[in-house]
Each structure stands twice: as C-alpha cells, then as structure tokens.
Structure 1
Amino acid sequence: MPEQSEESARERILGAAEELFAEAGFDATPTSRIAERAGVPKGLVHYYFKRKPDLLEALVERLPDERIATEQVVVAGDIAESLHRLVDDLDRKLDASAVLSHLLWREADTHPAVLEALQVRFDRIVAQIREVMVAAVPGCVERADVDSAAFLLASALSYRHSVARHDDDAPLGMRRELDFLAGALAAGPMV
C-alpha cells in the first residue's frame, strides 16, 4: 500500500472514531461502525489499532501542541498582562480541539493511558504558567505562591476547556480571575 493512502486511511479512521466516540461514547461505539464511517474494511481498523483503546491513545496525540514560547507572551514587570496573553494564546490553540478534548477528558475516568497522557499535558501547562509568572517579574514572589498560583490557573483552564467551554451559557473570559491572581501575587506572601 502506498504510504499516502495508508496515512489517509489511518486519518479517516481516527476522524471517524473521534466523531462516533463524541456522539455515542467509547463503549457504545463498535469498531465496525468506525470502519463504516471511515469507508474502510473493519480489518484495516485492527491493522492500525490492535485494540480499541489504542484509538483513544492515538486521539490524544491529535491534540494540538499547547506549548507557547514564554518570550512571546511575557510583558516585563506585568504578571497580569503576561497571564492574559498566555491564556489567550492557549485558548486559541485549545479551541482547535474542543470536541476531542472534551471526549478525552470524559474517557479518562475509565482509560488509564488517556488519563496519564492528559496529566502530562496538564503538568506542562502548570510549568508554562509558572515560567511566564517568573519571567514577568523575576524574584518578586515566593516560589510556593508561584507554584500554587500556577496550579490553580492550570486547573481553571483545564476545567474551562474540558467542561465549561462547551456550555453556551458559560462565560469565556478570565480577565477578573487573572487580575485577581496577579494582584494576590504582587501583594506578597500571606502570613
């Protein structure tokens, strides 16, 4: 089989799996329906993905790379504006995978490999937030405060992206929250 048609069939299978898992859920979607939707023989699904959970793991790899260069978002001396820029850039990247992201967070409860992959992504976002805060105002805040703030913001972003962003009534902006977080960091450690 030529490499281009192999890649095309694999991508069609992944696209069909993503659509069907989103519609009916992982457990309620047989591989025969995935093959039918992708327009390929059922055996080809098993050729590329030995087990059905392998499809979920491959879908994790389709999530966009959420990493953003720190120097692109940091405003020297301004944690709030730096965080606004970072969140805006992350939102743009993560918007490209809203259905896929929601689907994977839903399936993470029953598929450890998906949960592990999503945890790695979450940890990268925490590290990126921490890096932006420290670069914006080096040495002005306690390490423990930066770590806590980075974890809280990453948690809010993850929640927003996996759940709230799919609710038409949910507010998308985080300006007030980011300003509050930056103000708390600037105020110094709480005793």
Structure 2
Amino acid sequence: MTEPGARDRILAAAEELFAGHGFDATPTSRIAERAGVPKGLVHYYFKRKPDLLTALVERLPEEHLDPANVVVPGDVAASLHRLVDVLDRTLDSSAMLSHLLWREADTHPAVLDVLRARFARLVEQIRAVVAAARPSGCAAADVDSAAHLLASAVSYRHSVARHAEDGQDTMHRELRFLADALAAGAGA
C-alpha cells in the first residue's frame, strides 16, 4: 500500500481539524503540521484557505444509487429500509466530512450550495424508489411529499449522526409510517 501524497494528507488533516475545531479556528500552520508538510506546500496546493474547504466539498462521496438494487416491488417499507441502509453506509464513509459541511454551511455559500444539491438528489432518489415500490393508485403528490419528508429526516439524522442515540429505531418507525401513509392514500 502506498503512502498518500502530500495533497491528500493536507486534505485529510484539514478535514479532521476543521471538523474538530471549525474552519475559522484552524490555521493553515496546524494543517501543515498535522499533514507533516511545510506550510508553503499547503499554499502551493491551495492558494487560499477557502480553497481547502472547496476541495473537501468536492471529495464528498456521491450517493450513486440504482433504484433496482433497493426496490422490493409492492413493499414500500422494505424498499425504504434498504435505501436508508445504503445511505447510512455512505454516511459512515464520510461522517466527519458531512458534519463539517453542516457546520460550515451558514458561513460558506459554496458549502450551502453543495448541501442543497445533495438534498435535491436525495429527494429524487427517494422519489424513484417509492415510485417503483408504491402500491398502484398512490398519488404522485403523495410520493413527492413522502420523498421530501424522508429526505428531511435522513438529512437531519446524518447532520447529527455523531450525537444521535436512537436514530436507527426512530428511522424504522418513520419508514413504516411513510409506507403505511402511502398505502392508505392509495386505498382512498
């Protein structure tokens, strides 16, 4: 296994320090020290400190999801559970970075833009899964509402994941509720 390059070490150090202490409270000298590189090398790769944050945003893993891999036809609840499991695995691979982004979204418009785009993609993924698994007769407006509600719940859970105690149990109840509501709407 090869050692990560200087740029990757700088990004890893920045991610860890920004997440732990905040963007504004972390000087580039500490990032360089943590990465084991001269401070000038940090500025060689990243002209300005905000460029570090932008590079971290770009490293955030995408949730590429094929609905066919999670949909259980006719079973919205099982499909949503499988979807949330995939999303949780993505969170596990980037929990520190996700926390950092939520924290910095208020003061860095580029971060907020990335989070908004991720939320829109999440809504689309949920919508596709629910649409493929839903009972016949379920209104498109209900699918859209369910997608937005679940995206909000997942986003909230991921934003506070390191502080959550019962997130999994709560999420299972929420998924069952959404599935039951969609099924009841289809029968109306």
Q: Distance in 2 between matches of 1:13 and 1:71?
A: 38
Q: Is the 8 A contact 2:157 2:167 kept in 1?
A: no
Letter matched to residue 155 of structure 2: S
Same amino acid, percent of matched pairs = 70
Letter matched to residue 46 of structure 1: H
Give the match's secondary structure for 2:168.
coil
Q: Which runs of 4+ in 1 moved over 4 A?
A: none
- Does 2:122 match 1:119? no
Q: Distance in 1 between matches of 2:90 and 2:166?
A: 19
Using the TM superposition, give the Cα deviation of residue 190 of structure 1 relative to its aligned residue in structure 2, in angstroms: 11
Using the TM superposition, give the Cα deviation of residue 11 of structure 1 relative to its aligned residue in structure 2, in angstroms: 0.4
Residue in structure 1 matching 2:144, options 142, 147, 167? 147
Q: Distance in 2 between matches of 1:108 and 1:179?
A: 31
Residue in structure 1 matching 2:105, options 105, 108, 116? 108
Question: What is the root-mean-square deviation in Å for CA atoms of aligned residues?
Answer: 2.0
Letter matched to residue 128 of structure 2: E
Residue of structure 1 in register with 2:133 after alignment: 136
Residue of structure 1 in register with 2:12 after alignment: 15
Residue of structure 2 in register with 1:186 after alignment: 183
Letter matched to residue 129 of structure 2: V
Which deviations, in whole Å up to 9, do the C-alpha atoms of 1:83-116 show, x marking residues without a partner? 0110011111111111110111000110000110
Q: Is the 8 A contact 1:145 1:189 kept in 2?
A: no
Residue of structure 2 in register with 1:171 after alignment: 167
State the number of aligned residues: 186
- TM-score w.r.t. structure 1 length? 0.90
| CA distance 1:168–1:82, change in 2 (3 Å) | closer
Q: Is the 8 A contact 1:67 1:125 kept in 2?
A: no
Residue of structure 1 in register with 2:36 after alignment: 39
Q: Unpaired runs of 5+ in structure 2? A: none
Q: Unpaired runs of 5+ in structure 1? A: none
Which deviations, in whole Å up to 9, do the C-alpha atoms of 1:116-139 show, x marking residues without a partner? 011111111100000001111375
- TM-score w.r.t. structure 2 length? 0.92
Q: Distance in 2 between matches of 1:190 and 1:140?
A: 7
Letter matched to residue 169 of structure 1: E
Give the match's secondary structure for 1:109.
coil
